[in-house]
A = this chain, B = another copy of it.
Amino acid sequence: MSDVARAAGVSLATVSKVINGRYGVAQATVERVQQVIQELGYEVSLGAQSLRSHRTNVLGILVAEFEPFSTELLKGASREVAGTGYQLLAYSGGDGDVAAIGWERRSLARLSGSLIDGAVIVTPTVVETKQGFHVVAVDPHTGPSGLPTVDSDNFAGAVLATNYLLSLGHRRIGHISGRPDLESARLREAGFRKAMADADVPVDESLVRVGGFRIESAAGTAAELLTLADRPTAVFAGNDLSAISTIDVARNMGITVPDDLSVIGFDNVPESALVNPPLTTIMQPLQRMGAEALRLLIDLIGGVDRDTHIRLPTELVVRASCRPYAPAWRRLPLSTRPASTGD
């Protein structure tokens, strides 16, 4: 900045005023300084600026890691931020150690009070928000606290998924749930139970197991379920990752999806369409959630008085991983079937 000041023959303060569009600078000076800034290709340092002014016009999106879920949100947020004058800074604070708790607090402490004017935090477990600094949580793990929140209707989505399986004639339906301390996981399990109850189908507790929302942990759970003597004919996985994992495990066990086993997921991350067979799942409008979260954050910063809890609807996306229930003998080649009993 001092280079600019020197080249333009003015003081640092004047350059700063020009950059920030403050009053009290002669038009001619403004133009000259801007000219020099252009020529030198100068840009204010985000670090220094934030340190001093606590206003940067940069909004943060804090995630544990960049995976399909968070990057979808990012796409939505990126679209929404266009034209607002804000820039987006996405920070991945997880240190590879997946279970590492507290990344959201650490990241926030590291960036807030400087650098960013507000933050969207993706799937935080806990957040103590600092006074005067705006934060909105997307799909928080502990459910709406006092914090402004954007999430989707996990309960209704789970009912949707379960009803779909039920409508296909399945009765022995398994559920691979997320960690029980996560609100979304609890709601999905609750929706599952509600739909089963409404259909008067008792839940076999041996078919409901914790899968933890991750590929590896879900694989173990899926294996348990599928080695059961009386294994389920359909599985509602707590999220797409678990579902993909389940399909994988099934394949390795010689169980064909969807012929021998129907699988439905939750989230509709792009990857769910890429597996074989393409996954039937419940869509959360992830990009829209990202966009809504960003809009909410901007409104909060702008002091707009508005609703601070946004819940978006889920939808069934039918692809190819589920099919109507058929007893085992119906799935045999025609020639080897027992004589038809008309069932």
Interface, chain A (partner B; CB < 8 A): 41-48, 50-51, 65-68, 71, 74-75, 77-79, 81-85, 87-96, 105-106, 109-111, 113-115, 270-271, 273-274
Contact B82 A95 (CB under 8 A): yes
Residues of B within 8 A of A82 (CB): 65, 94-96
- A109: nearest chain-B partner, CB-CB: B43
The residue from B43, B87, B115 contacting A92, defined by CB atoms under 8 A apart: B87
4 additional contacts (CB under 8 A) given A45-B115, A48-B51: A42-B109, A47-B47, A66-B88, A89-B92
Shortest distance between the CB of A175 and any CB in chain B (Å): 27
Residues of B within 8 A of A48 (CB): 47, 51, 114
A158 to B68, CA, bound (A): 28
Contact A110 B51 (CB under 8 A): no
Contact B95 A87 (CB under 8 A): yes
Contact B110 A46 (CB under 8 A): yes
Contact A88 B88 (CB under 8 A): no
A71 to B78, CA, bound (A): 11
Q: 21 A-B Cβ contacts within 8 A?
A: A41-B105, A41-B109, A43-B106, A43-B109, A43-B110, A45-B113, A45-B114, A46-B114, A47-B50, A48-B51, A66-B88, A67-B78, A71-B75, A81-B92, A81-B96, A82-B94, A84-B96, A85-B95, A88-B92, A89-B89, A90-B92
A198 to B106, CA, bound (A): 58
Residues of B within 8 A of A42 (CB): 109
- A40: nearest chain-B partner, CB-CB: B109
Residues of B within 8 A of A91 (CB): 87-90
| The 8 A-B residue pairs with the shortest CB-CB distance in the complex, in nearest-first order | A82-B96, A270-B270, A43-B109, A66-B78, A47-B114, A71-B71, A90-B90, A88-B92
- A50: nearest chain-B partner, CB-CB: B47
Residues of B within 8 A of A273 (CB): 270, 273-274
